[in-house]
Structure 1
Amino acid sequence: MTLIGYVRVSTASQDWALQEDALSRAGCSKIFSDQISGSLPERPGLNQALVYLREGDCLVVWKLDRLGRSLPHLISTVNALGDRGVGFQSLTEGVDTSTPNGRLVFHIFGALAQFERDLIRERTGAGLAAAAARGRKGGRRAVVTPEKLTRAKILIAEGFNVREAAGRIKVGKSALYRALAEEKAKGD
């Protein structure tokens, strides 16, 4: 099994020597790196490492947060590696998906991440239902207010087209078309 390392620091003032030293001691034959925020989806060094990895290799990081933007992202990345026959190790947390115990720990992380997503979904639904019960509607405020709609209808009756009327009341023509269609639907 060939160990391939990946290190990441967020800013130029940070030093990845600690990570590189730990990966070298672990036996990594090649180390890829990024100096970029972990929250960004495109990380060139990680992309290069993922392309470089072959079946039977193992991607090694110093800590889990060096690889994933979030727990769901981390899990999907490690699962994708597993589908390719590539292992994953995190030195600090002692996770090693090439062993049965490591896979168990990682699956527990996955279950916890799914539980967290379900709780967030449940809380969001409950919050929306409570707001609706109080008469509050979510989403952005309507751009075309009732006053603007009345003014636009007067302008259209005077011979302006929808685009011109939208420009006069300072809204987009698509928003005005939508508001006119909604009003027409209510009237039908």
Structure 2
Amino acid sequence: MTDIGYARVSTREQNPDLQHDALTNAGCIKTFTDVASGAKADRPQLAAALAYLRPGDVLVVRQLDRLGRNMRHLIDTVNALHERDVQFRSLRENIDTTTASGRLTFHLFAALAEFERDLLRERTAAGLTAIAGRRARGRNGGRPRKMTPEKIAVARQMYASQAFTVEQIAQTLGVTRGTVYTHLDRATA
């Protein structure tokens, strides 16, 4: 069983030395390093590491987010490794699929991630349905406007009389001076 390390930093300004030291101390004989955002699908050194691995090897990372773009990608990658008889180990999270408890931990992470995705999908669908229902009833949502058409008419009349300052108009209507100016500017535009 050979331990192969994978490290990733997002930018050239970041230093992968901390990851390299942890992987070396964990017994990795070789480490592949990418300089790429975690969101990028194209990570040539990850592809090289995956190609280098042989049955019985262990892919080691310092922490989970170095390997996967997101939980789904991480789970897919580890499952693909498992199909090739390659194990996985994350040092920070103490996940080691060479042990039964490590496999259980990883599968719990995977199940929780899937559960979270399903909940998000359900909440999104419920929210979209609620928005569609409100729109069908003529409600577009959002915060109610402070300046009703009646208040706008009063503000314009008060301003046109030149007997009131903008500050006085704002206090009378219970709004800010900026709100009054916004609606007065619309009247002159």
* Alignment root-mean-square deviation, CA: 0.9
Query: Cα deviations across residues 46-93 of structure 1 (Å, max 9, x unaligned)?
Result: 000011111100000001010011111111111110111000000111
Partner of 2:81: 81
Partner of 2:156: none
Partner of 2:112: 112
**Sequence identity (%):** 61
Give me the whole-angstrom Cα distance separating, in 2, the residues matched to 1:17 and 1:128: 46
Structure 1 segment 62-101 matched on structure 2, within 5 A: 62-101=62-101
The 3-state SS of whatever aligns with 1:60 is: strand
Query: Cα deviations across residues 121-173 of structure 1 (Å, max 9, x unaligned)?
Result: 1011101211221236xxxxxxxxxxxxxxxxxxxxxxxxxxxxxxxxxxxxx
- After TM superposition, where is structure 1 displaced by more than 3 Å over at least 4 residues in a row? none
Give me the whole-angstrom Cα distance separating, in 2, the residues matched to 1:76 and 1:16: 25
Partner of 1:24: 24
- TM-superposed deviation, 1:23: 0.6
User: Would you say how many aligned residue pairs link Structure 1 and Structure 2?
Assistant: 136
Name structure 1 gaps, 5 residues minimum: 137-188
1:7 aligns with 2:7: yes
Residue type at the aligned position of 1:133? G
Partner of 2:123: 123
Larger radius of gyration, structure 1 or 2? 2
Residue type at the aligned position of 1:58? V
Partner of 2:35: 35
TM-score by length of 2: 0.70
Name structure 2 gaps, 5 residues minimum: 137-189
Query: Cα deviations across residues 90-124 of structure 1 (Å, max 9, x unaligned)?
Result: 01111101100000000000010011110111011
